[in-house]
Structures are given as structure tokens and as C-alpha cells.
Structure 1
Amino acid sequence: MSKKNATDTPQEETPVCEQPLEEENVQEVLETPSCEEEVVALKEQVSVLEDRYLRANAEFENLRKRLEKEKYQAIAYAHEQFARDLLPVIDALEIAANTGSQGDEAAGKIQEGIALTIEQFKKCFEKHGVSAVNGEGEFDPNVHEAVMQVESEEHESGQIVQMFQKGYTIKDRVLRPAMVSISK
């Protein structure tokens, strides 16, 4: 470094590479990397830090988006288990509604009440995105469960012949697959 007198005003020290070459600091300049090397090293360090920042920011954004998606799915499917628990109830009501009344007026009124209850269930299910699986047409392993295969001249191979139990979906998820028989 250069010598300072007590009368000199205090100044910030200039980097070694910017100081005028005097005999005292020639050795010091030779021992330190050149300013260009320092700039290159600092640029590399900035680039590494910038890369780390961009990666951390991208990771944070991905995490935020994933959590947002999971939150909306949790809200959308919050009542899934409750709807699944109600399926046996609606099955029992449909069985009761399909039993014939022997001309008894009271039994007819009871069946009418059961039919109204089933309609209310269906409206409530519809409101919350629960719908019945179609039990006719082509077999779809995503929403149907084949419990047996039967010979049928009326149906082509792989088509549903009979539905034993209704299936239900909630939005795009299967609550319960429809139990069906298919033709061979």
C-alpha cells in the first residue's frame, strides 16, 4: 500500500489494481489476481447465484401451484365419503319403491313418499356433482365392475346385459363402480 502522511485527508482505499504502480505496491499487484480476473470471477459468482435464485423461485412457484390445486381438490371432494356412505341408503329406498303394493292405499302412499325421497336424494347428489353411472351400452372398466359373463344373442360381446347395483361418480372420481353382467 502507499504511505500516508498524517496531513493527508482520509480517503477510501482504492483497490490494488487501480492504484498507480509504485515500487512499494508492484509486488502486491503481482500477488493479487488482476482486475479482469476479479471481474470474471465475480460475474461467474453472480451467474451461479442468479441461477440458484431462479431455481428456488421456480420451485416455490411450483409448490404454490401444487398446494393451490390440492386445496381446490380438497374442497371439491370434501363430501365424497359422506356421499359414499349414503349410497346404501338410496339403494334401500329404490328397492322399497320397486316393491309392488297389493292395491293397499296406505302402501301406495308409502311408495309415493319413498319415490319423493329418492328424487330429493338425486337432486342433492346432482347439486354436489354426484351422478349415477350409465348401466347400458359398452362395458367401461373405469366405472363398471363385471361380476359375471353371460351368453346373449341380443347383445354384442363386451356389452352390458344387466346391472345388479348402480354405480356412482362424484365429479370425475368413481364413488362406487356399477356391478354388471356382460355378454361373452
Structure 2
Amino acid sequence: MILRGCIIWLFGLFSVLFNQGLAQTACGFNARATTEAQTIRSPATADGRYRNNENCVWTLTASPGLLVNLKIIQLRTESCCDYLQVTLSQQTILLRGHRSNVTFRGQRIRLQFITDGSFRRQGFTATYRAVSENAVLEPTTTLAPGAPCGFNANATSELQPLNSPGYPHNYGNDANCTWTITAQDGFLVQFTFYDF
């Protein structure tokens, strides 16, 4: 617990007013991934929802010859204003709204969870572990029905999955997804379709 208060100065006299509030602890950490899966969750209050005005950072790295395999199991945020930012090398992706089973892989992955001062949702749950560089990445990117899909990203030299909503199962009705992938000057974006 911490004490929060203010000082009131009136005609050369002062009064100190205090109230007792819950301490808002720092969230996030730096970790080296191991082959054993670890869990990351957005901080939550007693009602199971994240707090307002959060700015949490997790940095995950892998030992040489290994990669961090990060799987966002479930994400529930306010669609307009709260988000989970995932950064791999020079690629940054914002995840917001309702998403599940989104997987990323890279030598170093940085997560930043940002919330504003209005509506609160359940936040996110993710797992991470170290995998070999040539491990086959499970291709999953599933969105909740009716959720917006697609993203803008910068291509890197690391392979990243891009799947239709629901893959490998059926996609939903009325989907309208747009992905914009951009390469640095002097490079091209290469796609390999494994299944269609």
C-alpha cells in the first residue's frame, strides 16, 4: 500500500490530506526463453480486467542458435485505444480487439501493452519458449468472428506466418482482410504459399 495525498496552502497555514490507495506496481520483465513454455499475462485487477493507463514492456530473447516462439493465446482489448505492440527486429505489429492463436518467432521479441483511461477488457495471455532456428512454425492466426483482420508490417529476414482468419479451419463469412507488407529499400518481399 502507498499513501497518496496533497498539501493545501491557505493564508500561511497548511493542511495535509492523505488517502490510502493501492500501489500500482511496475509490469513487464526481461527474460531469456528456455525450452520450457512460460506464460505472460497482462496485469489484472480483482475483476479480471486490466488497469487503466498501463504501459508494460516485456523483452524476450533466445540463446544463439535458438529463436523465441511467442504465441498470443487470447487477446481482448478495447478496439480503438488499447493494444499489444509486438516488435521483432524492425517489424512492429499492433494487436487490438479480439484475437487468438497468433504466433511470432524471432531472436528478440519485445511486447508493449498500452491502455488508456477508459474502458477495460480482459487483456492478453501468451506463452513463450525457445525453439531451434529450423523448427517448423505452427501456422496459426485466428480472429474472433467479426473482428477486423490484417495488419501493416515491415518485412524482415525472419520467416513470419500470415494466414486467413481461422486457418487451418474454415474462415468466417463476410471477411475483408488486408495485409500490407513493406520491404526496406533494396529488398523485396517474398511470399511462399503452403496451403490454399
TM-score under structure 1 length normalisation: 0.21
Higher relative contact order (CA 8 A, sep 6+): 2
Structure with higher strand content: 2
